[in-house]
Every structure is written in structure tokens, then in C-alpha cells.
Structure 1
Amino acid sequence: MDNSGIKTTSSVSSDSIKMQERLAVFLALIAGYIDATGLIQWKTYVSFMSGNTTSLGAALSTGKYGIIITSITVISCFLTGIYVGTCVSLWKRIKNQILTFYIVSGILIFYSIIAYFYDINNLLSIAIVGFSMGMMNTIVTSVGNQKVNTDFVTGTLNSLAKNTAMLTMTKDKAEKKEYQSNAIHLLLLWIGFLSGAFIAPFLLDYFGKWSLMIPALLLMICGVLISKINAKN
């Protein structure tokens, strides 16, 4: 059973691939925005677990307990978010797999409202946002036949380089077309994440404690639109 926010099969249509691509880029932009926000506000990545794992390993050897606690918290919450998001997407009673959109959006809205009126300590903030990022990573897991991760870019860049290499080496026209398509999808995904990280500092300065309401509302709107499209199909 597919665990993405929109239905996919081994032979997806061109329209379905386009929708997957747009949704993946949209989610990557939001992930980049939130990850940059976490880095600026709490000096911690909330979706880039490679960086947090490196920090954890270095902190373990140097005895920096603050970093150890922070890294373990965000990594465990991110993994828990992926676990819960996957369970939700595989829940047979859920006919429309857009529930994750609303859950993540609700978490960010609730957090923003509470954070506006009360001071939430950094560790709890990291735990909440890290969990939501883990859940968001389960909404779209592929574009066509190409597996993707919308919350972090290491795998995206790795797959981009591999598909580009296979594109240049193969002589088969069908394979060239597939590798070229995959490379374009992955490049757009990386650009989306980069763009989100780029705009985060500007919007954070302008909206302050309400900055996470922007991705929350965008996710809510996107969930509603996807639900209507799925209902028509």
C-alpha cells in the first residue's frame, strides 16, 4: 500500500506524476523554511537528521551534554513522527490519505498560538516541530517511480547525481527519458528546499512568533485542495 498523500501505482499517469512533482516541491519548500527557522531560533536542524547525528557523535566524544540531549530529542521525535505518519497512511479506515496534512498543520498552528502567549523552552519546541517534520516526510514518498524525501536533501542530491550519471552513460532512449525525468524532479525538489530556507530569515524577522503559521496554513489549504481533487477522481 502506498503511503504518500496522493495515490500512486507502478504505472502512474502523466497528470499524476505532475501532481506528485508539484506537491513534492511544495513540501520541500515548506521543509526548507521550517528547517531554516529551527536553525535560526534554536540552533538545531528540525528535519536534517544527518547534521544532528554528526553533532550527536561529536558531542558524545567531547561531553557536551546540552548538544547530546538536544540531538537525541530531535532525532527521536523525528523518527516518531515518521512512524506515526506511516501508521496513519496505512490505516485501512482512512479512505482519504490527506489526514497527515491536517495533523501537521494543526500541530504548527497550536504551537504558534501557545508560543505567542507563553515562553516554550527550546527543547520542547524542537521536539514538537521535529515530530511534525517527521510526519510531513511521509506525505509524498515518490514522484513517478523515483523515491524522494521532501524533508532533507542529502538523499535528493545523491539520487540526482546518480540519475545524471546514468543519463550520460546509457544509450537506450527509453532509459535516457526516464533518467532525465528523474533528474529534473530531483533538481526541482532541491531548489524547492533551498528556496524555503532562503525566504525563512526574511519572514521570521517580519512575522516573529507567528512565522510557523505560514507553512501551517499552506498545508491546510493544500490538504483541502488535494482532497477535492481525489474526491473528483
Structure 2
Amino acid sequence: MKKLIISSTSIINLSESIRTQERLAIFLALIAGYIDATGLIQWKTYVSFMSGNTTSLGAAISTGKSGIITTSITVISCFLLGIYTGTCLSLWKRIKNQILTFYIVSGILIFYSIIAYFYNINNLSSIAIVGFSMGMMNTIVTSVGNQKVNTDFVTGTLNSLARNTAMLTMTKDIAEKKEYQSNAVHLLLLWIGFLSGAFIAPFLLDYFGKWTLMIPALLLMIYGLLISKINTKN
């Protein structure tokens, strides 16, 4: 009986943990979509979609467009540096959770927005700063349950969605069907989150102008504080 109670409690905790991961992943995907669309509109460059920047880099090298080459290399390098930094923070034994990454990314965006309001920051510096913050943000959530996810770009998300859907339709095992269905739902919601963020960015950009990145910055700060309070209570 005791073992059954422990087992049931573990299952409930695991289920709640997965739901928390899912909500956080969708939230971060929405933020990433918003900032990526903002970067595309303002600087004609993706700040989190590195597949598009890699394609642009390859085409620019063959056509000799030095401006695009410089921009693409800068944003890709800073995005990778952001992932490296975020991963190192997540592996640092003195840090017990990912809350610090929330605050760092939020702080970068807030600091950038304030400086950009009073001074003109060139496009190259802008994409370097924002690209670095997007790389860091991509390390906050790397999986939902057993399903690996990327919150900053959708190519891998759509690939995994199609694969899980295919496996769902092909398998006859009930347990596998539940797992693939759950994964497919997580991935679909993640894609919708990114799409929604990209959808609302142009409207808010027209309204808030240079303060547009303060919105995701404050949302990240608030979400980080909420998670911190929940962790403290637990």
C-alpha cells in the first residue's frame, strides 16, 4: 500500500512537472517569435532563426554581398555564444535553477531598450546583443517530458511534430500512442506559441516603437519572479 501511494505521488509530481515545462516552453516560444519578428522588421535579420541566417550567409558568400556576410556571421556567432553561456550557467553547481538566466536575458533587453531610446545603436550591435540574449533564452527549456524541444526556432519543432504524428498513426501499442500523442500536442502548442509571438510583434512595434523589447523583457522578469516564489514555497 505504501509503495502504491509513493508511486501515485511520483506520477502526479511528474505530470505536474511536465505541464509546467510545457507552459514555460510555450511562453518562451511566444517571446522568441515576438523578438524574431521584431528583428526581421527592424534589422532585416533573424535573431533566433539561424537556419535562415545560414542560408543568407551561404548565398551572400557566393554573390559577394559583404554586408549580409558580416551581419549573418555576427548574429550566428552571438547566438552560439549565448547558448554556450546559458549552458555553462545551467551546469554551474552553484546555480540550483534556471531563474538567473531569466534575469540575465531580461536585463540585457531592458538595458538595450533604455540605451537605444536615448542613442542610436547601429544594426550590427543590435543584432549582436539581441542574438546573444536569444541564444541564452534557448537554454532555459530543452525538453518537455521526454521530448526534446527548441523554443527559439521552429524547423526542429515541425520536424519532430511530423515524426511523432507519423509514429502515432503507425504504432498499435497503446502506451506508445499516448506518448506520441502527448509529444505531438506539446510540439504543436510550441509552434503556435512562436507563430502567435511573430503575429503580434508588428502591431506592438508600431505602437511602442523603441520600447518594443521592454515587453518581452518585463514578461521574462515577471515569469522568473513567479517561478522563484513557487520554488521557494516548495
User: Under a length normalisation based on structure 2, what TM-score does the superposition of the two structures give?
Assistant: 0.94
Question: CA contact under 8 A between 1:105 and 1:219: conserved in structure 2?
Answer: yes
Query: Residue 173 of structure 1 aligns to which amino acid in structure 2?
Result: I
Question: CA contact under 8 A between 1:96 and 1:227: conserved in structure 2?
Answer: no
Tell me the CA shift for residue 230 of structure 1. Answer: 1.5
Q: What CA distance in whole angstroms lies between the structure 1 residues aligned with 2:77 and 2:65? A: 18
Stretch moving more, 94-103 or 135-144: 94-103
Q: What CA distance in whole angstroms lies between the structure 1 residues aligned with 2:58 and 2:165? A: 32
Structure with the greater alpha carbon radius of gyration: 2
| SS of equivalent to 1:138 | coil
Q: Does 1:75 align with 2:81?
A: no
Q: What CA distance in whole angstroms lies between the structure 1 residues aligned with 2:69 and 2:58? A: 8
Q: What CA distance in whole angstroms lies between the structure 1 residues aligned with 2:13 and 2:142? A: 14
Runs of 4 or more above 6 Å deviation: none
| SS of equivalent to 1:192 | helix
Tell me the CA shift for residue 95 of structure 1. Answer: 2.1
Q: What CA distance in whole angstroms lies between the structure 1 residues aligned with 2:40 and 2:106? A: 20
Q: What CA distance in whole angstroms lies between the structure 2 residues aligned with 1:109 and 1:89? A: 22
Write the mapping of 1:65-214 to structure 2, written as runs, cut at 5 A.
65-214=66-215
| SS of equivalent to 1:25 | helix
Q: What CA distance in whole angstroms lies between the structure 1 residues aligned with 2:192 and 2:89? A: 29
Aligned to 1:44: 45
Q: What CA distance in whole angstroms lies between the structure 2 residues aligned with 1:77 and 1:27? A: 19
The structure richer in helix per residue is 2
Aligned length: 224
Aligned to 2:5: none
Q: What are structure 1's unaligned runs of at least 5 residues?
A: 1-8
Q: What CA distance in whole angstroms lies between the structure 2 residues aligned with 1:63 and 1:50? A: 20
Q: What CA distance in whole angstroms lies between the structure 1 residues aligned with 2:96 and 2:186? A: 28
User: Under a length normalisation based on structure 1, what TM-score does the superposition of the two structures give?
Assistant: 0.95
CA deviations on 1:193-215 (whole Å, 9 max, x unpaired) are 00000000000000000000000
The CA RMSD over aligned residues, in Å, is 1.2
Q: Identity rate of aligned residues, in percent?
A: 90
CA deviations on 1:40-98 (whole Å, 9 max, x unpaired) are 00000000000000000000000000000000000000000000000011111112321
Question: CA contact under 8 A between 1:12 and 1:144: conserved in structure 2?
Answer: no
Query: Residue 200 of structure 2 aligns to which amino acid in structure 1?
Result: I
| SS of equivalent to 1:13 | helix
CA deviations on 1:93-133 (whole Å, 9 max, x unpaired) are 11232100000000000000000000000000000000000
